[in-house]
Structure 1
Amino acid sequence: MPTCGDGYKWLGHEECDDANAVAGDGCHECQAATRAFVTSTTYDGNLGGLEGAAAKCQARATAAGLGGTWDVWLSTDTSAPLTRFVPNAAGYARRDGSLIANDFADLIDGSLDNLLSQTETGVSVGNSDVWTGTDPFGVATTATCNNWTSNSSLVSGEYGRSSTSTSTWSDNGTPAACNGLRRLFCFEQ
């Protein structure tokens, strides 16, 4: 019979079992860390709104055989990761299993524990710009390419960088024209 905490992962019943009750270590209450990646593909600021951007994350995850339900680290005037994401006490991990945050509070504390620079296939993209419209605390900024529906050079969107774990991972500080091509950060929900 499956028993959480016995050190054995029971397929179909537990995502993980590390035989302890420590939060933020990649497995908590037999729930694994939330997976995250940066897209291998780039997009201009017209993402089809928040729904279209989330669909892009889902498509990349599906193409890589990851399964699950995916959302995008992106904000609009009415939605932001701070209020939209489902917190996970097991943490948040990139494709190689390295934790980028120990739990949701750590994810939105202004910095990451490791770079979020691996794509859905596990390849590192190095220094890439990533659309976010979100500050490092999970709150919307004012630059969102008209809620991710514009690719005009006259409109701007906030972006972060995959090559840093400081606050600039989510908010570079200087919005860019929405006709540029950037990646997306995707999180399993």
Structure 2
Amino acid sequence: MSHNTYLVALLVMSLGTACTDDPLTSMPASDSGSGSPTSFDPPLPSSATMSEEPTSTEPTTSSTSTGALTTTSGPDGSVCGDGAVGDEEQCDLGDANANIGACTLECKHASCGDGLVHEGVEQCDFGLGNDDSYNGCRPLDCQYGPRCGDGVLDVEHEICDRGELNGTGTTDDEFAPCSLMCGYYGRLLFITSQQFNGDLGGVSGADLKCHAAALAVGLPNANKYRAWISDNFQSPETRYDQWDLPGVPVILTGGLVVADDLLDLVDNGPHTGIARTEFGEALFEERVWTNTSAFGEIFSIDDHCDSWTAADGSLQARWGFNALAVEDGPEWDSWRAERWWTSFSVFSCKGLARLYCIDDGFVLEQED
């Protein structure tokens, strides 16, 4: 075979190999003549591309959404709030689900200790904080534990408790009404446990002695207490800030009512003897420095130990008789009618007597 004939035959063979139904793949040149791998993945044949089904975009019950609201609450496809109880739900009342109801917004049964108050069933629920202490929530039934307002006196925490009557100013016996904080509602009046001679440091010094007595036992408004005392210039009627405070009873330590209010005290006298100290100790037939009339006015322009600055035996002062041990009979009738509690007789200024102290800082707003 000639050289030209050989070249023609070789060209025919090459053209026959390249003619196929498949698309051509671009191949880089090779010095070796055997070819090298492509640097790009070859495209799929058209027949393979047309045979694949499009991927479904429909959600399945096992899928979870990202970046969008999840509409399923469990693998069974249940939704909390659809009214049907799913495998992972305890309950489902549909639109009636509520954190104050029998089925919560998480489709769980309401239970004591879940921190949610089931309306009409539970009074309280502090979750893990439930306990049987005062002001606590009982862990067994989520009902209130001992607390102010339950009508049961808890002597460790309360002075008085009349339940629904607390804070109304109403009482059903001879004792004072209860405040909203389970204390007695009223202006406290006490006789000092200490005795003093006539040198009180003036009327203001007598007030300071009342402050000290009230502070010693932790009484509210301790620095507002005033002595029931007069000199030749001032008296309770002129110097009390709250002389006219209607409807606020005057009471003793322990809650016994002395008068319906301060004006009742001066108009009608005390209902009972002023026989309790700041500590609640009972004292009877004691002298009390006053120089004050039954109406809260100055009794004498002379009998006041030189305006309560002298313990001089040559001077005298007016005093009151605080209480009788037996509140019955002619002597008791005279004690009340003649207002012996505030003006009974005179006594030497070097002698010892006590003071009456009354709360002059009571604030009505504390009951709001």
Q: Deviations over 1:63-108 (max 9, x none)?
A: 1111312100001122111222213321100001011110122111
- 1:125 deviates by 1.2
8 Å contact 1:28–1:90 — kept in the other structure?
A: no
Counterpart contact for 1:161–1:168, Cα < 8 Å: yes
Partner of 1:5: none
Q: Which moved more, 1:81-90 or 1:50-59?
A: 81-90
Please, which moves more after superposition, 68-77 or 104-113?
Answer: 104-113
User: What corresponds to 1:140 in structure 2?
Assistant: 298
Once the two structures are overlaid, the 10-residue window that deviates more, 39-48 or 61-70, is 61-70
Q: Quote the sequence identity (%).
A: 27
What is the match of residue 149 of structure 1? 309
Count how many residue pairs are aligned between Structure 1 and Structure 2.
176
Q: TM-score, normalised to structure 2's length?
A: 0.44
Q: Given the superposition, is the C-alpha separation of residues 148 and 27 from structure 1 closer, same or farther in structure 2, using an over 3 Å criterion? A: same
SS of residue matched to 2:358: strand
Pairing 1:160–2:320 present = yes
What is residue 341 of structure 2 aligned with on the other side?
169
Counterparts in 2 of 1:112 and 1:78: CA distance versus 1, 3 Å: same
Hey, what's the Cα distance between the residues in 1 that align with 2:217 and 2:248?
Answer: 23
Residue number in structure 1 paired with 2:202? 49
- Who is 1:129 aligned against? 287
Distance 2:253 2:295 in 1: 22
Alpha-carbon RMSD across the aligned residues, in angstroms, is 2.7
Report the alpha carbon displacement of residue 116 of structure 1 after superposing the two structures with TM: 0.6
Q: 1:108 to 1:65 in 2, by over 3 A?
A: same
Indicate if the aligned counterparts of 1:36 and 1:93 stay in contact, CA closer than 8 A: yes
Amino acid at match of 1:70: Y
Q: Tell me the amino acid that sits aligned with residue 186 of structure 1.
A: C
Which of 37, 45, 50 matches 2:190? 37
Moved more, 76-85 or 54-63: 76-85
Partner of 1:80: 235
* 1:155 partner amino acid: L
Larger relative helix fraction: 2
- Structure 1 gap segments, 5+ residues each: 1-7, 9-15
Contact 1:26 1:102 in 2 (8 A): no
Secondary structure of the equivalent of 1:186? strand
User: In terms of mean alpha carbon deviation, does 109-118 or 40-49 score higher?
Assistant: 109-118
Which structure has more relative contact order (CA 8 Å, sep 6+)? It is 1
Q: Which has the higher strand share?
A: 1
